[in-house]
Amino acid sequence: MFSRKHLKLLLIGNAGVGKSALMHQYVNSRFSNHYRATIGADFFTKEVRIGEKLVTVQIWDTAGTERFQSLGAALYRGTDCCLLVFDVTSPTSFQALETWHKEFLVQAEPADPDGFPFVVIANKTDLEERQVFRRQAQEWCNVYKAEYFETSAKEALNVDEAFLCATRLGLENQREPNNMQNSLLLSTKEDTKPKGKCDC
């Protein structure tokens, strides 16, 4: 008998880094070269099975432009895990991670800011004109205690793995304030392992 859980994941990062493409690839297994800027926010849901849990994951994709930042507080609160996305061909989008990280903690007001789970996604690794490299990004993640994945929404590379890691971290985050006797069994056997360090 499966128990059900509900989870909220949030994608944030500069405009054009591929947040919508990542979400569509994960939820619908499709990619489009046609770029359409997200207006305000958008979300999809997907049901996944983790151990003995059926998890309804609500994934929010936020606009990366400043004129929608006023929506932050309402959108960010209640998030169980935050995915910070940057484009490996855009150093500016990588440098902005610190601002997005700080902005999320201010707006979301998590109970434990130091322990809140983040997953960093380096997107567009299929492109040749890469300017932000793995070691640089991994060092940033080590400082901010974030999991790290290199993905390509176009080629579906590591997209499922990144979202699965975020889902597991989100479940762990939900569990923390509760009685430890209600701990979740998240050790599922999989054919492929994520390319990050997420082993929760």
Give me the CATH code for the 3-182 domain, please: 3.40.50.300
What string of H, E and C letters represents the secondary structure of 3-57?
Answer: EEEEEEEEEECCCCCCHHHHHHHHHHCCCCCCCCCCCCEEEEEEEEEECCEEEEE
Task: List the end-to-end C-alpha distance of the chain, in Å, as a whole number.
Answer: 23
Burial 46-76 (b: 16+ CB within 10 A, else e): bebebeebebebbbbbbbbeeebeeebeebb
Whole-angstrom CA distances from 144 to 77, 98, 123, 163, 164 are 20, 9, 19, 19, 20
Q: Is the pLDDT confidence value at 135 over 90?
A: yes
pLDDT tens for 31-45 read: 766 555 544 456 889
pLDDT band at 116 (very low <50, low <70, confident <90, very high): very high
In DSSP terms, which residues pair with 81 in a beta bridge?
Answer: 9
pLDDT tens for 60-90 read: 987 654 444 555 677 889 999 999 999 999 9
pLDDT band at 154 (very low <50, low <70, confident <90, very high): very high
pLDDT tens for 83-106 read: 999 999 999 999 999 999 999 999
